[in-house]
Chains A and B, each alone.
Chain A
């Protein structure tokens, strides 16, 4: 089955700790995205990547970092600089500009809920 996997489902962070959320896709998509979802708010973009070894900041990148060393993987690190990390984190992918396809539908993973101890 093609899809997006995220792990872990729940993650607990202690004060001053960096934590990394995993995102893997086997859809052969070029573009990958990280969103944060808080109650009553729309999805807010943290980082996105259109191609391997390249990524751009989204609207709320402060306190987060990413890497894109492989097409299939786009891990997100929540650093100690992010003072309010409690949220539901969603990873998504789409075919992307490099595919040359018109289809730009984003598909989402199951999410990771991050809680602060």
Chain B
């Protein structure tokens, strides 16, 4: 069964304290892996799409990487405004459905 697991469920960081969020996946052929940021009461905001192992993408303090079994979202020197829930999703080959993890709630303290 296709599955996505995100860890940790919650993470508290001091401002400037770098860390990584994990997204482990099991799919029968990966079509794409997607990272989103979601603020309370709002829709998910697209961050990155990764298609193949070894691929990396960066945006400001965020960097996403992909292996054959997992993806990491690295946050470098986070700021309080980076506080949000980060969602990971995968799309398997041969399907147009997306499978979401339950997210990591990140809190960055000033």
Contacts and interface: CB of A to CB of B under 8 A. Distances in A.
Interface of A: 4, 6, 31, 33, 35, 40-43, 45, 48, 50, 58, 88, 90, 94, 96-97, 102-111, 113
B32 A104 contact: yes
B97 A105 contact: no
B67 interface: no
Given A103-B49, A104-B31, A96 B42 contact: no
Interface residues on B, range: 20 to 34
A7 B34 CA distance: 25
B89 to A, nearest CB: 8
Contacts of A106: 34, 46, 89, 98
Nearest to B98: A106
Contact of A111 (B36, B42, B89): B42
6 contacts: A43-B44, A50-B96, A104-B32, A108-B45, A111-B42, A113-B41
Contacts of A113: 41
A25 to B, nearest CB: 12
B101 A42 contact: yes
A48 B96 contact: yes
Nearest to A113: B41
Interface string B83-104: 0000101010000111111110
B4 A96 contact: no
Contacts of A42: 4, 87, 99-103
